[in-house]
Amino acid sequence: MVKPMKLEMEEKPELKILKHIQSDVSLMKQKIIIIEEEVDAISGDMHEVRPEFIKKIQSIEREGRFHSFKNIDELRKAIEA
């Protein structure tokens, strides 16, 4: 025969699983925050725009004229000219 007192002290298996899942989710959330911070730092370093590109973009926005280019080299030549 099972003693009622012993059953009350033991956690149900479902509760243990839920606590474990909660702990895992909390850990994943912390890791995601760290990853986001690292990605932002890397992105900031990698995506510096050259000043001449910014000037060209600003002139395009002011003039409202848009051009098509066959490839990136053609675009680069137009920007750097």
Tokens at 79, concatenated: 């920007």
Residues 7-31 have pLDDT tens digits of 555 778 899 999 999 999 999 999 9
Tokens at 70, concatenated: 């066959």
Residue 75's CB: how many other CB atoms inside 10 A?
Answer: 15
Q: Is the pTM of this model over 0.75?
A: no
Residues 35-81 have pLDDT tens digits of 999 998 887 777 677 888 888 888 888 887 777 888 889 888 888 87
- Say how far apart CA 77 and CA 21 lie, in whole Å: 56
Contacts 24+ apart (CB under 8 A), 37-42: none
- Say how far apart CA 73 and CA 57 lie, in whole Å: 17
